[in-house]
Each structure stands twice: as structure tokens, then as C-alpha cells.
């Protein structure tokens, strides 16, 4: 069912412009549909802060017809921010303390961009551990994305991620390995997922932590796993929330670092993403760029506007299905929990107490 625009966060307007149904609070109050309150701990750096909001809001808003979704983005004050991001957060984000007071039905924890070899040296390490500990006691289910998965596996289960020695970057095929689990019910048994990381938690590490693996890739490893109780904690190692152009933007950022002299080598293409036609366009651009650099000429314009319409998205539908299944599970569990006080002492054969048994 729809997202509810319970504040003036610009992401709601962007999603409306895409055609997604977003209810104003007044209209939502007249709908006889239950609310689900979902937190989004957004740890992404400033440039990715708002795109990450949109990506996860979109997945949740498209996922399920049985609830109204109140999204509550928040972040960790220990993360370094520029003025623009601080203003955005101060105006539109909840604080963790407010969410502790008011409660959440579910929680999503995004990835982050690490600045140290060891996650335990990051400024977010201890505050993230506090959020994780609170969520474990107070939230029906928590979904961790990419680096958040690595952080939880290390801090809770002593399974420290391992450097790959290269960047795993691109779109990779995955297969469902346990089709009986409700999170992968009625989704494609073969599907793609974008990845972008220098480290990974291996299948053996997930299993050593007692996790149940649901989807994996021969090349990219485990993508989807759940906690031993099969629902309380959900782990993504890839980025199914990515927009169609996310990897293109990432590739552009790396090329611009090379052009500015801040990267020694020219970036390779993300795996399994650019078509031969797109690669040919980028090869031509590279030749023009390197010639301009060598001769002190004006740099050519990056051809992203030419490329964007030629990209294919092969992952979003499955991501939407998995998130829909997750939301449906949260809905069912919270419904049972909320109904339980009313059912105590009631004969299940006569729930209305009519004395007809």
C-alpha cells in the first residue's frame, strides 16, 4: 500500500513524480488500513544520502497492499557530514532517541563508506552497535544492507569480513537455494543483484554465525541470508535497492577521479552491466579524455546522458518481491502480537464470547 508523507521530506515529491502512490497524512487517516512504522538508518555519505532514501522508500512503497507505510529516516550523529546534509537531516530526519520512545515495527540499516581497514575503528561502530542491540530487543525484524551486514556479523558473531584484493563491482546472477522460505516465495529462482564492495563475508562465515542462506552467486558469493530464527534479522550483501543508473554514476565518479589526477589507473567497467555498444562509446570517450589530458586540452563531456537510456535493470522486480515478502512477514507477526492481548482468556472456539459452543 502507499507510503504516507508524514513530513515534507523531498523524497516523497520525487516518488510522486515517478508515479508512485504517496498519501498525505490527512487522507491516510481516513483509510481503514493498518500502519507499519519502518525505520531507515541511513549511514551513506552525503552525496548518496537522498538517493538512498529514495531507493529504499521506493522498494517499501511498492511492496505490499496491506498497510500504510510510515518511513522514519535517521542517522548517526557521529558520522561526518557537510552543511547541506546536516541541514537535510536536521529538518527531515528523526533522532534515534525519538524512535526508541515511539517504537518501530521494522528497521532497515543501509551500508556506509568505510574510511578505515577495520570496521571497529569507524566512527559509526559503537553507535551502530547500540542501534543493533536495541533493535534486537524491540523491533520485529531488521534488514541489513551490505556494510551493515558486515558490521553485524563482526560485532555480534565475531565473523570479520575479509578483503577481496579487488573491487567486486557489477551485476551478478544469483540462485535461490531454499525456495521454501517465505522471503523468497514466488520470486525468480534465478535473478541478478548489483554488488559494489572490496570485502566480503564468506558462505562459511555466514554458516558459522548460524545464518540460513537463501540466495547466492557462484561469482559474487552469498547475497541473502537470515538469522537462525528465520525472520528477526535479514542480511543483504549486495545492493538490490540500486537504481538503474547507480552503477553508471559510480563509474562516472571513478573516471572523474582519474581525470582529476586523484586515481592512478583508469577504472575498469562494472561486470555484466554495460552492453558492447555502451563499452564502445566509453572506449571512445577514454581515448578522447586521455588525449586531452596528455595535451592540456579541455576535457570532453562524460557521455552519461547518451548512455542512461540504454541501460537495463535486471534486478528490481526480484528485489521488490523479496522486500514485499519481508514486509508481509512483519505485518503478520506484528498483527499477531497486537491481537494477543485481546485474545488472552478467550476460547478459540468462541472468539466473540457468544456462548454458542
Residues assigned a catalytic role: 146, 239, 241
Rounded Cα distance, 141 and 139, in Å: 6
- Mind giving me the DSSP string for 178-197? -TTSGGGTTS-SEEEEEEEE
- How many C-beta atoms surround the C-beta of residue 262 within 10 A? 9
- Count CA within 13 A, CB hemisphere, residue 56: 28
Question: How far apart are alpha carbons 68 and 308 in whole angstroms?
Answer: 33
The β-bridge partners of 193 are: 172
DSSP string, 256-308: HHHHTTS-SSPPPPPBTTS-HHHHHHHHHHHHHHHHHHHHTPPPPPPTHHHHH
- Name residue, grid cell 555484466: 272
**CA distance linking residue 205 with residue 227, whole number of Å:** 13
Q: Are 310 and 282 in contact (CB under 8 A)?
A: no
| Long-range contacts from 18-23, C-beta under 8 angstroms, 24+ separation | 18/58, 20/58, 20/61, 20/62, 21/61, 22/61, 23/68
Amino acid at each position: 500500500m502507499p507510503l504516507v508523507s508524514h513530513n515534507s521530506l523531498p523524497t516523497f515529491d520525487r516518488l510522486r513524480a515517478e508515479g508512485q502512490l504517496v498519501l498525505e497524512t490527512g487522507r491516510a487517516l481516513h483509510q481503514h488500513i493498518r500502519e507499519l512504522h519502518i525505520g531507515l538508518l541511513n549511514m551513506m555519505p552525503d552525496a548518496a544520502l537522498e538517493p538512498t532514501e529514495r531507493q529504499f522508500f521506493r522498494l517499501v512503497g511498492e511492496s505490499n497492499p496491506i498497510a500504510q507505510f510510515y518511513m522514519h529516516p535517521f542517522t548517526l550523529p557521529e558520522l561526518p557530514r557537510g552543511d547541506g546534509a546536516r541541514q537535510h537531516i536536521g529538518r527531515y530526519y528523526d533522532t534515534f532517541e525519538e524512535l526508541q520512545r515511539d517504537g518501530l515495527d521494522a528497521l532497515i540499516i543501509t551500508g556506509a563508506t568505510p574510511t578505515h581497514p577495520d570496521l571497529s575503528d569507524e566512527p559509526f561502530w559503537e553507535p551502530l552497535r547500540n542501534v543493533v542491540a536495541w533493535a534486537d530487543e524491540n523491533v520485529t525484524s531488521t534488514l541489513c544492507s551490505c556494510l551493515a551486514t558486515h558490521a553485524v556479523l563482526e560485532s555480534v558473531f565475531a565473523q570479520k569480513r575479509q578483503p577481496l584484493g579487488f573491487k567486486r563491482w557489477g551485476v551478478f546472477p544469483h540462485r535461490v537455494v531454499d525456495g521454501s522460505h517465505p522471503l523468497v516465495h514466488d520470486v525468480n529462482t534465478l535473478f541478478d543483484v548489483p554488488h559494489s564492495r572490496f570485502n566480503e563475508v564468506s558462505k562459511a562465515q555466514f554458516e558459522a554465525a548460524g545464518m540460513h542462506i537463501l540466495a547466492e552467486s557462484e561469482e559474487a558469493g552469498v547475497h541473502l541470508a537470515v538469522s537462525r530464527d528465520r525472520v528477526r534479522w535479514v542480511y543483504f550483501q549486495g545492493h538490490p535497492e540500486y537504481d538503474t543508473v547507480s552503477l553508471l554514476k559510480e563509474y562516472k565518479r571513478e573516471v572523474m577521479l582519474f581525470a582529476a589526477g586523484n586515481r592512478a589507473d583508469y577504472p575498469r567497467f562494472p561486470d555484466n552491466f554495460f552492453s558492447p555498444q555502451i563499452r564502445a562509446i566509453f572506449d571512445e570517450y577514454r581515448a578522447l579524455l586521455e588525449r586531452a589530458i596528455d595535451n592540456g586540452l579541455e576535457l570532453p563531456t562524460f557521455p552519461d546522458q547518451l548512455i542512461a537510456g540504454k541501460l537495463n535493470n535486471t534486478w528490481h522486480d526480484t528485489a521488490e518481491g523479496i522486500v514485499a515478502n519481508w514486509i508481509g512477514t512483519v505485518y503478520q507477526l506484528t498483527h499477531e502480537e497486537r491481537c494477543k492481548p485481546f485474545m488472552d482468556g478467550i476460547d478459540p472456539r468462541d472468539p466473540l464470547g457468544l456462548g454458542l459452543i
